[in-house]
Amino acid sequence: MILDDLLADGAPPIAAILRGVKPEEALDIAAALVEAGIRVIEVPFNSPEPLVSIAAMQQAFGDRALIGGGTVLTVEAVEALAGAGGRIMVTPNTVPDVIARGAELGLELLPGFMTPSEAFRAVEAGARRVKLFPAAQLGPAYVKAVKDVLPKHVGVWAVGGTGADTIGDWLAGGCEGIGVGGALYRPGDDALTVRERAVDLVAAWQRAKG
């Protein structure tokens, strides 16, 4: 499963960031997200036992959702992610060796950038999508300016301060999608709470796209 196919099938361009999720709750939280329509799920590597959660979610939902890891900082972490069955690799920064290794292993890549120079380094290393982080501090107008110089095939996602109240602004500014963390899940949230937030977020996307 690749992100292009999910988006072509009408899945919302939303990545759920489950920072701090524990393995014993991962399946319930993932189920709530998938039921609400969100089909891209990221477990950051600074969560408790992230590879355990990723492997379990991949086994349970890998035929319906793109499961992977975030805050991937090293080549070793990339290899561990692939070994756990993860399919998408998200980073907060631009490290060409990390991006290139993810590409070699066939992972979907979403490396983080802040400056145009970082975005171009990510593309040169093999990324077809990049993640503006932290996004809220820069705004949709910044995305538009960066997209003016990036290759046309490169998709830009916004992460950091994003949610149901801003998804329309980011899409209007030229983003392909957004990643949402605390507005969807915070450590200790139960599956029902996450599902309600996810339903609201997907509804906001539907309104934004008309």
pLDDT tens digits for 166-198? 999 999 999 999 999 999 999 999 999 999 999
Range of the domain at 89: 3-209
The pLDDT, as a whole number, for residue 209 is 87
Strands 155-159 and 129-132: parallel
Going by pLDDT thresholds of 50, 70 and 90, the confidence category of residue 202 is very high
> Is pTM beyond 0.85 here?
yes
pLDDT score, position 194: 98
Q: 68, 86 in Cβ contact below 8 A?
A: yes
Cα distance between residue 187 and residue 185, in whole Å:
7
Instruction: Encode pLDDT of 103-159 as tens digits.
Output: 999 999 999 999 999 999 999 999 999 999 999 999 999 999 999 999 999 999 999
Structure tokens at 191: 């599956």
Residue in 25, 108, 118, 131 annotated catalytic: 131
Q: Which alpha helices (DSSP H) does the chain contain, by range?
A: 3-8, 23-36, 50-61, 75-83, 96-104, 116-124, 140-147, 167-172, 191-209
Average pLDDT of span 21-47:
98
Report the alpha-carbon distance of residue 162 to residue 16 in Å, rounded: 11
Q: Which of 25, 42, 108, 176 is catalytic?
A: 42
Catalytic site residue 42?
yes
Per-residue model confidence (pLDDT) at position 203: 98
Residue 109 and residue 123: Cα distance in Å, rounded?
10
The CATH number of whichever domain residue 172 belongs to comes to 3.20.20.70
pLDDT, residue 82, reads 98
Residue 27 reports pLDDT greater than 90:
yes
Q: How far apart are CA 195 and CA 38, in angstroms?
A: 10
Model confidence at 210, in pLDDT bands (50, 70, 90)?
A: confident
196 in active site: no
Residues 6+ apart with CB under 8 A from 18: 26, 29, 30, 41, 42, 43, 44, 47, 53, 185
Predicted pLDDT of residue 1:
74
Report the number of distinct structural domains present in the chain.
1
Report the pLDDT value the prediction gives residue 156, as an integer from 0 to 100: 98
Tens of pLDDT, residue by residue over 48-57, are 999 999 999 9
